[in-house]
């Protein structure tokens, strides 16, 4: 199940943060977090492929500096306990 919905947050705005945005949220019931990570990665692959979007693009951080975001899969997985 997923939801695509407009959102508004009543807080400050800067080059990296808009007050109004769309959010894609999904729920993956009865799955492990590993299965959910796989699902999320597959979902992003599907969205980028179907909409014919570039997987790498520039965004601005809070200071206005450009940073590259890369949604190319597979994504690295980090063990935060280690």
Non-local CB neighbours of 79 within 8 Å, separated by 6+ positions: none
As a whole-number percent, the residues of the chain with pLDDT over 90 amount to 45
pLDDT band at 79 (very low <50, low <70, confident <90, very high): confident
82's tokens: 């280690």
Average pLDDT across the chain, whole number: 88
What does the domain layout of the chain look like in residue ranges? 2-70
Per-residue pLDDT tens for 9-36?
A: 887 777 777 788 888 888 888 999 899 9
In angstroms, the Cα distances linking 41 to 14, 15, 22, 38, 60 are 28, 26, 19, 5, 23
Alpha carbon distance 43, 73 (integer Å) = 11
């Amino acid at each position: 199940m997923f939801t695509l919905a407009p959102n508004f947050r009543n807080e400050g705005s800067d080059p990296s943060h808009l007050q109004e945005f769309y959010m894609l949220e999904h729920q993956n019931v009865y799955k492990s977090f590993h299965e959910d990570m796989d699902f999320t990665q597959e979902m992003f692959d599907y969205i980028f492929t179907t909409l014919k979007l570039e997987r790498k693009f520039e965004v601005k951080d809070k200071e206005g500096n450009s940073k590259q975001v890369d949604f190319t899969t597979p994504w690295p997985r980090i063990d935060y306990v280690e």
